[in-house]
Chains A and B, each alone.
Chain A
Amino acid sequence: DAKTTQPNSMESNEEEPVHLPCNHSTISGTDYIHWYRQLPSQGPEYVIHGLTSNVNNRMASLAIAEDRKSSTLILHRATLRDAAVYYCILRRRDTDKLIFGTGTRLQVFP
């Protein structure tokens, strides 16, 4: 399974933008890039996904490098409720399972 690499932790101040990086140099042409986040004592929550083009939704934006070997999840204005572990995952078309890494723990300070 293709692997992703993320920083263990990041910090941000409230109302500032946050850029969470992810490297996935072994990505294949049919892998989708998915992001989930997990708040304390809860199950993971879907955030966003993409294949080649940048994507926006109400929660975040996903910027995908042209060679697809890296991506960045962008939270435009961090809030205290965004403090969570963020997982970058490659989802293969031929198998319906998500392979989680250890993710990035985001701390948001008031």
Chain B
Amino acid sequence: DTGVSQDPRHKITKRGQNVTFRCDPISEHNRLYWYRQTLGQGPEFLTYFQNEAQLEKSRLLSDRFSAERPKGSFSTLEIQRTEQGDSAMYLCASSLGDRINYGYTFGSGTRLTVV
């Protein structure tokens, strides 16, 4: 297993364009999380899935953001009509179910720059 994979690693887009990021979690992990991190700050929770069900969404996840995990495996995060304020690192993580005794495994992130 190669851990949590995120694609692309970097994305530069023009304001107003749509972007989509992909996350492939560790195969036996049924929970998948999306976080956003801006420079100098800790990661902020966006949303998480258990299998294909989206269980919680942050109020940070405006209606321009949508996340899916259609078959309970990989996930996509789409941002529509990007704004400069969307520039950030988008991190994906996965974990084993609701076992609080397990830590998350994070990917290396997708860095989005909106110009």
Contact = CB atoms under 8 A, between A and B. Distances in A.
Interface of A: 32, 34, 36, 41-47, 49, 85, 87, 91, 93, 95-103
Interface stretch (B13-21, B62-70, B100-108): B100-108
Nearest to B101: A49
A44 B105 CA distance: 8
A93 B101 CA distance: 10
Q: Chain B interface: which size bin? A: 20 to 34
Interface of B: 4, 31, 33, 35, 40-45, 48, 55-56, 91, 93, 95, 98, 100-101, 103-109
Nearest to A103: B42
Contact of B45 (A32, A44, A97, A103): A97
A59 B86 CA distance: 34
Contacts of B95: 96
B108 A36 contact: no
Contacts of B109: 42-43
Most buried by A among B40, B44, B103: B103
A102 B33 contact: no
Contacts of B41: 102
Most buried by B among A32, A34, A41, A98: A98
B113 to A, nearest CB: 14
